[in-house]
Structure 1
Amino acid sequence: MPPPLFSNRLASIKGIRLPGSSSGWDINIVYSSDTCHGTIASITPHDSSDNVETSQPPLVLPALTHPHIHLDKAFVHSAPRYAHLLPLAGTFQEALSFTTEAKSDFTIPDLLTRGEWLLAESVSSGVTAMRAFVEVDHIVQLKCLDAAVTLKDQWSNACEIQIVCFAQDPIFSSEFGEENMRFIERALTLYPQIDVIGTTPYVESSIEAAKKNISWAIDRAMQLGKHVDFHLDYNLDPAKEALVWYLLGTLTRRGWTTRSSLKRVMLGHCTRLSLFNEEEWLQISRTIHENDLPVSFVGLPTSDLYMAAPPQQNAEGKPRGTLKVSEMIRKYNLDAVIGVNNVGNAFTPWGSADPLNLACLGVGIYQAGTQADADLLYECVSTRARAAIGLSLSNQSSIMKKGDRPDLILFRDRDDTGCGISRPRTSVAEIVWDPPARITRDLVAQGRLNTSRGTHYDAEPVYQYL
């Protein structure tokens, strides 16, 4: 159970800076009687006679989002009970094997402890929404799901957790496929808290079984009115059929758009697509737009760069592949975001739970060094990411607007060096190029200020309470 993290409702936040503006602004918040969530009622010029002045007005940006993160496998490397499962070879097959072994030792207390580590580090970074994958199969059965439901409830005031009932293992092949499927179906029957059906078609033993996996997940999601999320085409082998074509065709044939209301489809990893030529990308774009398919792609670069490599017999060295997210958005008009995926396990032993570090990494991966690039990368871990998982339908900009939900971060001019010296960040680009420490970030979630770092936050005049 997390400690009390948030203040009373805020009426306004005064004297702040918005991206691209040197003027001061006030954000005013209203609350409806039928919901606990507030709404930004207006953003008005700041009246300097209010006596709310700081040495450097805080820059306000939308809160962050994890569009794809594994809750149950987080920080396995930090738990002493799994010390014998640290990577030896660093391969994908080893990660699968070691994770399967670790899963056999999962307990509810262990899952809750590691899940809280992930949530605490995410929320302190500024995350207020996440799509969380939890595995359901013959090994863990429903344990991971039980822990996720508990965490979803306990952390609901801080972070909206969208639970994915996730089939990491085969459901149409292997000796355990049928048993895995039985647990998945049982979970979908018993847990209304499940928001998303997730599968991994590429783990099936044949291309035919992989296509059955895709068809089943789409059909079941449509029947139950849930989002669907695929780990797809996670390879760099040009000889392998790219399953994205079958998936898009199945969505079209099944009439997803006309029958599934506002539910969305997410495609994760898709490293095989990084080998596509111009015509193949244009065809993907045409297929999605002509059939009005609500498809988003999520690049997972910390995992992809570590794991995805071509077959060794065909490789001269070890090139890596990950989706070219910036290009997909700008050149092909596709919906794409970036996500953390794994933290502290054999699939991704490096990196943190802070999405801003991922946006920073994107500058180098995509050679995206302009201020406009920085704006886009910030959106890919905030507003675009939130929309991609179906939690927002309107504003995808990094600039807060009237009508937005008051989930936001104030980047404050605080010394994080211990030297009595601070360097303010006054633009989105400065935030993305060199993310400031968590201690400089004030998080407002659902119109409430995170005061966990000290009660003095409550007393700061920038925050006005109801």
Structure 2
Amino acid sequence: MPPPNLSQNITSLQGVKITGSSSIWDINIACESSTAGTITSVTPRESPEDNQTPLVLPALTHPHIHLDKAFVHNAPEYAHLLPCSGTFPEALTFTTKAKQSFNYSDLIKRGEWLLAESVSSGVTAMRAFVEVDHTVQMACLDAAVTLKDRWKEACHIQIVCFAQDPIFSGEHGEENRRLIEKALTDYPQIDVLGTTPYVESSVETSKQNIEWAIDRALELNKHVDFHLDYNLDPNKEPLVWTVLHVLQKRGWNTRSTQKRVMLGHCTRLTLLTDKEWHRLSRFIHEHDLPVSFVGLPSSDLYMAAPVGHENPQQKARGTLNIPELIRKYDLDAVMGVNNVGNAFTPWGSADPLFLACVGVGVYQAGALEDTRLLYECVSTRARAAIGLPLHSSGLTVHEGGHPDLILFHDRDDTGCGVSRPRTSVAEVVWDPPQRSSRSVIINGRVHSVKDYESLDSVYKFED
């Protein structure tokens, strides 16, 4: 499957809506290359507002998604590994077994399923985790490199060389670490080093894992991304403090490097007190640490549960409260899809707007300002958190911004001849429209031939 067809360069989008305004607008665009484009002006039109006018918002970003494990449940060769108990240990075991059958063509096929569904949803950038260890060797990484190149004009793929398995303990720890080191040396396409400290056999080896990853990322000038504190056990020491103290001791801050640090899951931190959260935030700000938290509610709500409850009705779930981290504790926080169609997350979709919609209920965040924040957390905030250039913040399209955009159209997706428009960010987040109602603009080009041929009144192209 090739990446989606892209139109010729657009010179303007005519008669569209933007957030914060009841008027309609023309958006003029200049594209210097396949990766560099600029919105040169946003000018009002004198025409009256029209309910058929598409709403324009910034494109979406996956700040944390697993490319190699996507849609395992949809591939017949893994039918014997569908969930039985739905537990975390089972997910680890079944995924390890599935990895024994991974091969290049299978990885490309499932990877393109993920990319196609993501790009058609409006994703133009992603941080993609691929595993390197004694089981898969470099197979997942090789597939990711191919996909990164093949899809480069449709989506910026930031590859994470990821150690899901132990690298300082267990039978294969030393071999796993050696393979990660080899990958970091041999593959310049790697952007991020990622590890999972909590899979190590002890607190001591977990801390070794953290120290090694931070040191290697600094030496190689790469981002670092930890799956961290994925439990709801009040008796377990939160390793977030180890990460922060090592960053501070190594001098990793916004003045010394442009590379960032991402902390994923962190469900154990939902047990912190208000005082502890303020202390954590204060440490990050005082030491100018470029740290972002990514909440992964689809996986966390399915997996992160305390063990040992006699009454199943009291079995709580835990996931980071992303709006609260931002507003109350002044932390950088975003939301990610994580897994799609595997034992860690058998439910949900690759569409980040699905995630924003789930956030309305999980965080009780249904107010208008909440929906704007939730959209930012899967869009502009997510892009900034993974260290990609950001020409603007918030959701308003304006001069100088990058032309990665989504147009939300009033289209009938019911087959009944009836359509319901989405005219605001809130309406998009509360009830995301189908992909068929979205047009994705990727660096000033439309990603679907059908779209740009049928909507020539909106798009104006280079001669």
Deviation at 1:425, TM superposition (A): 0.8
Structure 1 position 70 matched with structure 2 position 50: no
Give the letter for the 1:96 counterpart: L
The offset of 1:396, in angstroms, is: 2.5
Pairing partner for 1:431 from 428, 433, 436: 428
Partner Cα distance (1:314, 1:198) in 2:
36
State the 1:398 CA deviation.
1.2
1:88 alignment partner in structure 2: 84
Query: Percent identity over the alignment?
Result: 69
- Distance (Å, rounded) in 2 between the aligned partners of 1:411 and 1:13: 13
Q: Distance in 2 between matches of 1:102 and 1:212?
A: 28
Matched to 2:294, the amino acid is V
**Alpha-carbon distance in structure 2 between the residues aligned to 1:84 and 1:306:** 21
For residue 408 of structure 1, what is the aligned residue in structure 2? 405
Contact 2:64–2:126 (CA under 8 A) maintained in structure 1: yes
CA drift of 1:259 comes to: 7.0
- 210, 216, 224: which one pairs with 1:214? 210
Gaps of 5+ in 2: none
- After TM superposition, give the deviation of residue 185 of structure 1 in Å: 0.4
Contact 1:30 1:40 (8 Å CA) reproduced: yes
Once residues 173 and 63 of structure 1 are traced to their aligned partners in structure 2, the CA distance between those partners, rounded to angstroms, is 41
Q: Secondary structure at the match of 1:60?
A: strand
Give distance in 2, aligned partners of 1:430 and 1:90: 33
In the TM superposition, what is the alpha-carbon distance from 1:20 to its structure 2 partner?
2.3
Counterparts of 1:258 and 1:446, CA distance in 2: 28
Matched-pair contact (CA < 8 Å) for 2:254–2:289: no
Q: Cα–Cα, structure 1 residues 67 and 104, in superposed 2: closer, same or farther, change >3 Å? A: same
Secondary structure class of the residue paired with 1:312: coil
Partners of 2:440 and 2:31 in 1: how far apart? 18
- Work out whether residues 162 and 195 of structure 1, in 8 Å CA contact, stay in contact via their aligned partners in 2: yes
Secondary structure of 1:8's aligned partner: coil
C-alpha change, 1:58 and 1:405, in structure 2 (3 Å) is same
Shift in Å at residue 113 of structure 1? 0.3
Shift of 1:36: 3.5
Letter matched to residue 441 of structure 2: V
SS state at 2:83 partner? coil
Paired residue for 2:347, among 330, 345, 350?
A: 350
Aligned residue in 2 for 1:18: 18
Give the Cα–Cα distance (whole angstroms) in 2 for the partners of residues 188 and 259 of structure 1.
25
The CA distance in 2 between the partners of 1:324 and 1:315, in whole Å, is 25
What is the letter of the counterpart of residue 228 of structure 2? Answer: L
> Are residues 205 and 259 of structure 1, via their aligned partners in 2, closer, same or farther at CA, if it must alter by over 3 Å?
farther
Verify the 8 A CA contact 1:64 1:126 in the aligned structure 2: yes
Q: How does 1:295-314 map to 2 (within 5 A)?
A: 295-312=291-308
> 2:234 maps to what in 1?
238
**2:227 and 2:263 in contact (8 A); partners too:** yes
**2: CA distance between counterparts of 1:395 and 1:128?**
16
Closer, same or farther: CA 233–315 of 1 in aligned 2, 3 Å: farther
Q: Given that residues 17 and 24 in structure 1 are in contact (C-alpha distance below 8 angstroms), is that contact kept between their aligned partners in structure 2?
A: yes
Answer yes or no: is the 8 Å Cα contact 1:222–1:260 preserved in 2: no
Structure 2 residue 440 is the aligned partner of structure 1 residue 443: yes
Q: Which runs of 5+ in 1 are unaligned?
A: none
- In the alignment, is the contact (CA less than 8 A) between 1:37 and 1:447 conserved in 2? no
2:459 maps to 463
Identify the residue that residue 5 of structure 1 maps to in structure 2. Answer: 5
Equivalent position SS for 1:304: helix
The within-5 A match list for 1:66-465 is 66-257=62-253, 260-312=256-308, 317-453=314-450, 456-457=453-454, 460-465=456-461
C-alpha separation in 2, matches of 1:299 and 1:339: 6
Task: Give the superposition deviation at 1:47.
Answer: 4.8
SS of 2:253's equivalent in the other structure is helix
Residue 32 of structure 1 and its aligned partner are, at CA, apart by 3.2
Structure 1 238/314 Cα, relative in aligned 2: closer, same or farther at 3 Å?
farther
Q: How many residues align?
A: 461
Question: Does structure 2 conserve the Cα–Cα contact (< 8 Å) formed by 1:222 and 1:259?
Answer: no
**What TM-score, normalized to structure 1?**
0.96
- 1:454 Cα shift? 5.2
Q: Which secondary structure state, in structure 1, belongs to the residue aligned with residue 7 of structure 2?
A: strand
Is 1:41 matched with 2:11? no
Inter-partner Cα distance in structure 2 for 1:394 and 1:264: 18
> 1:313 offset after TM fit, Å?
5.5
| SS of residue paired to 1:164 | strand
Structure 2 distance, partners of 1:159, 1:312, is 43
Indicate how the Cα distance of structure 1 residues 454 and 257 shifts in structure 2: closer, same or farther if over 3 A, else same. Answer: closer
Aligned partners of 2:256 and 2:223: how far apart in 1?
A: 9
Name the SS for the 1:88 alignment partner.
Answer: coil
Instruction: Summarize deviations over 1:135-185 as a string: whole Å, max 9, x none.
Output: 000000000000000000011111100000000000000010000011100
Structure 1 position 329, deviation (Å): 0.3
Distance change (3 Å), C-alpha of 1:314 and 1:206: farther
- Cα gap change, 1:155 to 1:421, in 2 (>3 Å): same
Q: State the 1:60 CA deviation.
A: 0.3
RMSD: 1.6
* C-alpha spacing 1:279/1:273, structure 2 compared with 1 (3 Å): same
